[in-house]
Amino acid sequence: MKVGFVGLGVMGKPMAKNLLKTGYSLIVCKHLDPRPVDELVAAGAHEVSSPREVAEESDIVVTMLPDSADVEEVVLGEKGLLRGARKGMIIIDMSSIAPSSSKRLALEAEKEGVEMLDAPVSGGETGAIEGTLTIMVGGKKSTLSKCVEILQALGKSIVYVGDAGAGQTAKLANQIIVALNIAAVSEAFVLGTKAGVDPSVLFEAIRSGLAGSNVMNAKIPKILQRDFRPGFKIRLHYKDLKNALEAARDLKTPLPLTALAQQILCALVNDGKGEADHSAIINFVERLANVEVRSTS
């Protein structure tokens, strides 16, 4: 089976590598940054010049792109996947985009005899590298059944959520919880540090109790070392919460805490921290309190 891959960023490159390691023939296309393409070609992938050409050579195409407009261009554009697709081809969009966009793309693909899943992921760069992502799938169950082995090469948890767009809705719920969790952890550790408590000791004191979380376990060790290299970027989390708030508006569902978290992310983007890891939410709180949370050992 030939698998195409479009979108070789922080998440996409290691995901594509895992497909190669599993033994799939991989087709990739030119990228704004040629380095990840060159790296994958050196590992055995075949390079073509456009998404259309990726579709022409692939049975299944995975996309991993920044936002709705990017996916729409890759799927529907003049040199997009649907221009080169054969009937029966499958597109698995693993980007995090608006549910409404996923629904629209699935309908357009269906008109061309192409099947489509929205399958966004959680787990960050580490999960992408280790192949342990959590994958939330929307679309037809019959389509998912044809793609299980490919998804198993990328993640450890694959959950079918519902029809087209449902995977994206699950991802938005995930992103709300992660953002608010990081914000809560940030406020708690800024308070503790301001009060003179060693943040490393505070971490050990609370991590095993009800306040403990995967988010805190993943982010506090990096915060204490002042390591804000991106596993998931501030600007992308800002985009995800924008999509969540737009979906909530359409459903007439108030999300006041999500709106506040999005404004914090907006302030960080404006402060030049859009490329930092989303754990840099703590920088916003630190600035307000004039304190820095870091390891003292």
- Residues serving a catalytic function are 171
Q: What angle do CA 190, 194, 195 make, to 5 degrees?
A: 120
Measured between alpha carbons, how far is 242 from 276 in angstroms, rounded to an integer?
18
C-alpha distance from residue 233 to each of 30, 45, 197, 268 (Å): 23, 27, 29, 11
Query: What DSSP state is assigned to residue 162?
Result: E
Measured between alpha carbons, how far is 276 from 190 in angstroms, rounded to an integer?
19
| CA torsion through residues 162, 168, 173, 178, sign | positive
- The 3-state DSSP class for residue 118 equals strand
**DSSP H helical segments within the chain, as ranges?**
12-22, 34-43, 51-57, 68-76, 81-84, 99-111, 124-130, 141-145, 148-152, 166-194, 199-206, 214-224, 234-250, 256-270, 281-289
Closest CA to 3 of 29, 33, 42, 36: 29
Query: What DSSP state is assigned to residue 85?
Result: P
C-alpha distance from residue 275 to each of 58, 68, 80, 103 (Å): 32, 19, 28, 29
Alpha-carbon Rg for the chain, nearest whole angstrom, is 20
Other beta carbons less than 10 A from residue 208's beta carbon: 8
